[in-house]
Structures are given as C-alpha cells and as structure tokens.
Amino acid sequence: MSVLEGKKIVLIVTGGIAAYKTASLIRLLIKRGCKVQVIMTPEAINFITPLTLSTLSNNPVYTQFFDGKTGEWTSHVDLALQADYIVVAPATSNTLSKMASAEADNLALATYLSAKNIVFFAPAMDLDMYKNPYNKENIEKLIQKGDICIPPNKGELASGLEGEGRMAEPEEIVNFIENFIRKELLFYKKKILITAGPTYEPIDPVRFIGNHSSGKMGFEIAKVAEKLGAEVTLISGPCNQKLSNYSSILRIDVISSEEMYKAVDAHYQWADIVIMAAAVADYRPKTVSKIKIKKEEDSFSLPLIKNKDILLHLGNTKDNQFLVGFALETNDEENNALKKLQKKNLDMIVLNSLRDDGAGFSYDTNKITILDKQGNIEYFDLQTKEKVAVNILNSIHVRIKT
C-alpha cells in the first residue's frame, strides 16, 4: 500500500513545455490512491488543456479566481487548506520567482501562498535559465522557507541544449514524494515482526485442537505498521484475513505451533520490534494418528504434551528487540498480565478481557489495557481494532523513544 493512499494532492501546473508530463503524473497519483485537484496558471493552458487534466483527475480544473460563465468565486484558501500536499510541476523560473517574492497575480500563486502544508516543486526550464544566479537564489529561498525541491534531470532540453533543467519524470516525482513521506513516519525502516491468528494442532488427518482466534487484531497491527513506514513480516496461523493493497508486507502462513516457532525464530534476529498477537496452542496431542480415528468407544482419552513457549524463548534470547506480548484473561486480569510480562521478560503486554462486551475473538472491536516493565498502565475504551492497532503502535513508539 502506498503512503499516498487517501491523500489529497493539489497539483499546480504552470506554463512550461513539461506541462505535458502532468497527464502521466496525475494517472500515477490516482493509481497510488490520491485525490488530485488541478490548478493551472493562465499560461499553462497553452501547453495542455484543462479538459485533459480534468478527465484524468475526475475533478474540475481551476484556472481563474472567477468562473466567467457562472460568476462563481473560487476560494484559493479552501483549495490550499483541503490539501495534504501541494505539488508545483512544472515549476517555471517565472513561477519560482513569484513564489519566492510572495506575488499572487493568479489563482495558483494565491493558493500556494495560502498553504500551511508541505509544498513540493519540480523545476523545469532551459539550462541557462536554471543556472541563472537569481533563479538559483529563488530556489534556495523556497528551500529555506521549508518547500521541498524535486531536483531536475540532466538531458536534452526543449531548446536543443543538453544539461540540467529537465523536469523530473512523473515516476521520479511520485517516488520522491513517497520516500519523503516515509522518512517522516513513526516507524520508517523499522523491522517489525508480528504474529496473528490461531494454531491448529493435528489429532488425525481431519481433526485438530484449535481456538477461536480470527487473526483480525494481528492483521490490523500489520496494516497500520506498514502505513507508519515499517518493514513488516506477518506470521499467521490459519485464518481468513486478507492483505489486499498491502503488497509490501511479507506474509508467512503456518499451521501448528511448531511451524510458528520455527518461522518466528528464523526472523527474530532481524527484527527491531516483535508483536506476538497470535493465540498459540499451549498443548498438542502426544501422538498424531495417520488415519481418521473412528467413533467406536463411549469415551476417548487424548494425551497432550506441552508446546514450546515461543514468547518465553524470545524473552530469554532477545538482544535489542522491543518485545510485546498479549494476554487474554478471564479473571484477575491485570495481575495475571503483569506476571506474564515479568516471567517472559517482555517490554510491554497488551491485556484483553473476555469479560468485556465487544472484545476478544472474532469481534471487529476490542478493549485493551497496556502494561509495561516500568510499571506504567494505560487504559483504553472499546474501539475498532484498527484504532486499537494505532494505540498499540503509538504506545510502542513512545516507549522506544524514551
């Protein structure tokens, strides 16, 4: 999933030959899940039509303060405030000069000057214009103000010259913006290992010991972690959860607790943060029948043996990992969770109670309490599991920072 998913982009198109590239730029932004609003300077319409960009963006294109046909006023303030990001591409020398000197002689510039969000600009001009010291000074002013310059390429220019000044390609512009946003995210380049779902311990070829875990909580944590810039590995027991639009998450499917143990152990050493949200079976059948067990006796005994305690193993072998466990309790909840945190050398534990309405297995909501090894306790109301995932990851981030 792109970090641009759901973002509102105001694209300011100015009067340069590179304006033709904005058609491809809009298509790429839309594919990343952006909502794009185009504003064109009066000169830009000489290079590409508003109709083209309106069709591609699925929005009307604004070029003037007033609509000559309807007489309606277009608010530059509203346009600026509705955007998550403003992108000026191409940014001609003329527009850069006006941006640097706070001129507002058209709707695009007035919108830029009203912006309180991050502005990206992609210079596009001929070689000598780009190298002109006054143009360089204007670019530096904008950078000092806080605007972000997307560097131009070197190559063949409209004049026939070869050199710097060619606007970055649409793919490069989108990648530049995505990389910039990722660096601002809470878990940029952090490696997070997450487990989710149940484990199934086979009795015979058709039966197993399992539990009611749906995997929803672990999957929501994985999705939110990816949105926050993390490199996520998700190890999941059998469940019906999907990761549509989250192609960067590495998903590893397992069935039994032994398979989960091996998968976790293989990836543990590379992780910065480990969140063990899976409901791993404590016991498994001592022997597994190779054929289906027939229903012949009035009673049936099934000897069980204890599975490896994955969380205890991680706590005993951790180096610099931040280790998070989960506790699902039915009585004496906080005391039992605290004992688990201490026994298994955890940094933080997320407590669920089966006594809370709307919390626990299969629900789309959850109610949690977070305890850490410093003795801090945080209480949260019943929320969607997506919001619970946000709270868990925010709590981890605060503790890592301190």
Q: Which domains does the chain have, with CATH numbers?
A: 8-183 (3.40.50.1950), 191-288+303-401 (3.40.50.10300)
Given a cut of 90, is residue 376 above it in pLDDT? yes
pLDDT exceeding 70 applies to what percent of the chain? 96
Farthest CA pair distance, the chain: 94
Please say whether the beta carbons of 358 and 393 come within 8 A.
no
- Residues 242 and 100: their CA atoms lie apart, in Å, by 48
Q: Dump pLDDT digits (tens) for 320-352.
A: 999 999 998 878 889 999 999 999 999 999 998
Please say whether the beta carbons of 346 and 324 come within 8 A.
yes
Q: How many residues does the chain have?
A: 402
pLDDT at res. 157: 67
Q: Cα 168 to chain center, whole Å?
A: 25
Given a cut of 70, is residue 360 above it in pLDDT? no
Q: Dump pLDDT digits (tens) for 235-249.
A: 999 999 998 878 789
Average pLDDT on 118-140 reads: 92
pTM: 0.76
Average pLDDT, the chain: 91
Given a cut of 90, is residue 183 above it in pLDDT? no
Active site residue 211: yes
Report the 10 Å Cβ neighbour count for 244.
Answer: 7
Given a cut of 80, is residue 158 above it in pLDDT? no
pLDDT band at 401 (very low <50, low <70, confident <90, very high): confident
pLDDT band at 159 (very low <50, low <70, confident <90, very high): low
Average pLDDT on 364-382 reads: 92
Q: Per the structure block, which two tokens stand in for 117? A: 């969000």
pLDDT at res. 358: 67
Q: Dump pLDDT digits (tens) for 17-69.
A: 999 999 999 999 999 999 999 999 999 999 999 999 999 999 999 988 877 66
Q: Dump pLDDT digits (tens) for 67-114.
A: 766 667 777 878 888 899 999 999 999 999 999 999 989 999 999 999
Candidates 132, 153, 211, 345; catalytic one? 211
